[in-house]
Chain A
């Protein structure tokens, strides 16, 4: 069974601090990776995509991919209360996204 694993949290982060989220995947055939943010009762909203080993930065977000270790991470810098949500890691292979269960992030003022 191909899986995407994430710590469920909640991850409590003081406002202004860095939130660090981790994800591992089991399917070595996965071609690309995505971080989505999901507010309660809402649909997944794309934050970042990453396809190659290394870091990718977009504003306050940095994604890291290490295919050898089958590991993806997301850093959120200068965390804001509006960042409080569940963050979903997803791997893409064979025409579909496989999602982790998500990490709940709570940013405390």
Chain B
């Protein structure tokens, strides 16, 4: 069964450094998403991406964050100048369409900022 994959599974970085989290969505899906979950808190929407541009973004997704689809398979989230409060699980998701279509989640990347 096709699945969303994410690398790395765990990333440790120093405050102020840049990190890139990588995702390979399900191959025939057209919509891509990033969510994050701070330990003990809700899963929060960050951004959605379609046709090589951002569709929606939350207030969390400020200038520190950017997304890119550098090739036909990868979808990346870049976090510039990381802060302690960026420590969280970051989940990538993809869906075939919008509206009623189901979003399938990857296994997540645990980001730890020291």
Name the distance in Å between A66's Cβ and chain B's nearest Cβ. 18
Interface residues of A (CB under 8 A from B): 31-32, 34, 36, 42-46, 49, 51, 88, 90, 92, 94-102
B residues sitting closer than 8 Å to A (CB atoms) are 33, 35, 41-45, 48, 55-56, 58, 89, 91, 93, 98-100, 102-108
Tell me if B100 and A31 are in contact (CB < 8 A). yes
Main secondary structure of the interface of A (DSSP, over half): strand
Bound Cα distance A95, B35 (Å): 13
The interface residues of chain A lying within 8 Å CB-to-CB of B44 are 99
Beta-carbon contact of B105 and A45 below 8 Å: yes
Cβ-defined partner of B55 (8 Å) among A45, A95, A99: A95
Cβ contact within 8 Å between A43 and B99: no
Whether B91 and A49, one on each chain, are in contact in the complex, defined by CB atoms closer than 8 angstroms, is no
> When A and B form their complex, what is the total count of cross-chain residue pairs whose Cβ atoms lie within 8 Å?
53
Which chain B residue shows the least CB distance to A48? B102
Contact among B99, B103, B106, B108 for A97, CB-based, below 8 A? B103
Given contacts A43-B105, A43-B107, contact A95 B42 (CB under 8 A): no
Known: A43-B91, A44-B91. A95 touches B98 (CB 8 A): yes
Q: Is the CB of A44 within 8 A of B105?
A: yes
Measured between alpha carbons, how far is A48 from B42 in the docked complex, in Å?
19
A31–B99 CB distance below 8 A: yes
**A51-B100 contact in complex given A95-B55, A96-B48, C-beta closer than 8 Å:** yes
Tell me if A97 and B100 are in contact (CB < 8 A): no
Q: Which residues of B contact A42 (CB under 8 A)?
A: 107-108
The 8 Å CB contact of B108, one of A43, A96, A102, is A43
